[in-house]
Structure 1
Amino acid sequence: MDGDTLYLVYLDAGAALDDLDERNLAQLAPGLYLVASTRTRSELYHAVKWLRHPSRLLVAPLADGPKFKGMMPGALGWLRWRQGEARRGSRPALR
């Protein structure tokens, strides 16, 4: 995870990123994802654009993990794991 940048990615709610070639991503809500990537913002933007051809797309780097409530089960655990706050155990399962 060293060298990864955390991005907030928003695209059409019906477009999933399950097959995006990224090691680390967590769905927060339909169409809303946190993605940890070594790609630049432009590279990630174009990868999503070419993969899904969404009518709406936003890719924004985050300086720190966001605060959130009411998102998909497992998303907060994934973020804590990614930030190294959950030091023991394996990567949490996401739904």
Structure 2
Amino acid sequence: MDRDEESAALYVVALTSDADDEGILEGADTVRLAPGLYLVRTSAPQSRLYHAVKREAKPSELFVGRLDGDPKFKGMSEGALKWLRRR
């Protein structure tokens, strides 16, 4: 997926899957917040991100939503807030 800094958007991706989701979206600008919950920064359109996750993870349930700003969160995976602040 493209990562053009000027047009990059922040998305939340939530999925449920029988498979381990640990390695999904490798190589993308992604942070895992919790099992099945990710933040993704990409210049790819929402539809392309949705279909990439759908193909890669084959989830039973999937949600991809664009965020207007930085989210607030507590108790997520170590390093998640640092990842967000670096962007």
Whether these two folds match at TM > 0.5 is yes
Q: If the length of structure 2 is used for normalisation, what is the TM-score?
A: 0.85
For structure 1, which runs of at least 5 residues remain unmatched after alignment? 83-95
SS of equivalent residue, structure 2 residue 53: helix
Q: If the length of structure 1 is used for normalisation, what is the TM-score?
A: 0.78
- Where relative contact order (Cα < 8 A, 6+ residues apart) is larger, the structure is 2
For structure 2, which runs of at least 5 residues remain unmatched after alignment? none
Root-mean-square deviation over aligned CA pairs: 1.6
Q: Which has the higher helix share?
A: 2
Residue 23 of structure 1 is aligned with which of 9, 12, 28?
28
Runs of 4+ in 1 over 2 A off after TM superposition: none
Alignment length (residue pairs):
82
User: Do residues 51 (structure 1) and 56 (structure 2) align?
Assistant: yes
Larger Rg: 1
Shift of residue 8, structure 1, vs aligned partner: 0.2
